[in-house]
Amino acid sequence: MRKPKVIRMVFALSLGCFIMVIFYFNSSLKPASEPVGERSSEQKSRRSPLQTLYDGDQVESAVQAIHQGRRELLEEACRSYTRKRRVLIPEDLKHVIVDDQHGLLYCYVPKVACTNWKRVLMVLTGVSGPHRDPLAIPANEAHVPGNLRTLSEYSTSQINQRLRSYLKFVFVREPFERLVSAYRNKFTRSYNTAFHKRYGTKIVRRHRPDPQPEALERGNDVSFEEFVYYLVDPATQREEPFNEHWERVHSLCHPCLIHYDVVGKYETLEQDSRYVLQLAGVEDQVSFPASSKSTRTTGDMAAQFFHNISPFYQKKLYNLYRMDFLLFNYSIPAYLKFR
């Protein structure tokens, strides 16, 4: 009776040894797992743009001090002028472009060099094809939906992870210079027929006494005064949100909910763009395109456009864009007459 039991024990022991030998040889045939570990350690050793920003030994201390000051002013303004805090929703993140390769989040603001920033990001993310020079990418191609991913396309956990660990940056501009730039581009250029039809005809119909049939049909001769009336009319925003070209920056990029690491300014565009590219470690791979100063909307030009706007409507328009002035530390323009 005892002999079969011994045989069974010997058989089980032999089978166990056989399985261990197979496992040993099987595991020894898996060298592919080693490079994966090596790659992940390399990625960990490479500093992210966010680490570079806060370690602070890669860029000039004077530039760092400027941007730290801007962050602090923005945080203080958010504490002073916003009462209710709310949770971000995907709709808030449609203007935040993601570069997963370099750990960047960029909130684009129309009329603040966003075409060139999109071109740069297309080069960095590899969607520009053979183009390595941002200016070789046609402007209309930079705005094609789907070329660059936005943060709203990710899951909640992926959004939170990127908001915590990526460098977040936005570029802003003096609000009324940006507004005049938008008007000049969308309403005084003959080629912008889509804007004339979509918005110009509506503005003429609502804010011009006795409009001519041609103006009602084409909407291509909207004056700046009529554009201002349209903006401050409460019915405008009740009907639909502002177009992104004249929407307020705080409504596009939510700077009191998203804590931006870099707040670049159009007034110091070249310096601030170079700073972001340095933080990302790509200043040797791509350069931010130099802008044309000949067609740029300036403060003097904005003053000319506001000359015929009454103090009453100047005040209403300022109140509409007040938060952008306060959050980004822009003074009330000297040419305004309501004070």
The residue count of the chain comes to 339
The confidence score (pLDDT) of residue 283 equals: 93
The confidence score (pLDDT) of residue 338 equals: 85
List, in order, residues 6 or more apart from 156 with CB less than 8 Å away: none
pLDDT tens digit at each of 339 positions of the chain: 445 554 555 455 555 544 443 333 333 333 332 222 232 333 445 688 988 888 766 567 889 999 999 999 999 999 999 887 788 999 999 999 999 999 999 999 999 999 999 999 999 999 988 889 999 999 999 999 999 999 999 999 999 999 999 999 999 999 999 999 999 999 999 999 999 999 999 999 999 999 999 999 999 999 999 999 999 999 999 999 999 999 999 999 999 999 999 999 999 999 999 999 999 999 999 999 987 666 889 999 999 999 999 999 999 999 999 999 999 999 999 999 986
d(CA 269, CA 276): 11
Residue labelled with tokens 């700077």:
255
The confidence score (pLDDT) of residue 151 equals: 98
The confidence score (pLDDT) of residue 196 equals: 98
d(CA 311, CA 309): 7
Q: For 177-194, what is each residue's pLDDT tens digit? A: 999 999 999 999 999 999
The confidence score (pLDDT) of residue 45 equals: 52
3-state secondary structure of 222: coil
pTM of the model: 0.85
The answer to whether 177 touches 302, Cβ cutoff 8 Å, is: yes
- Structure tokens given for 264: 């670049």
List, in order, residues 6 or more apart from 139 with CB less than 8 Å away: 115
CA distances, 267 to each of 178, 199, 297 (Å): 11, 29, 11
Q: For 299-331, what is each residue's pLDDT tens digit? A: 999 999 999 999 999 999 999 999 999 999 999
d(CA 209, CA 231): 17
- The DSSP annotation for 276-319 comes to HHHHHT-TTT--PPPPPSSS---HHHHHHHHTTS-HHHHHHHHH
The answer to whether 291 touches 113, Cβ cutoff 8 Å, is: yes
Burial call 213-237: b when 16+ CB within 10 Å, e when fewer: eebeeebbbbbbbbbbbbbbeeebe
Residue 254, phi-psi category: left (phi > 0), alpha (psi -120 to 50), beta (remainder): left
Q: Which amino acid is at 147?
A: N
d(CA 176, CA 182): 10
> What letter does residue 196 receive in the DSSP assignment?
I
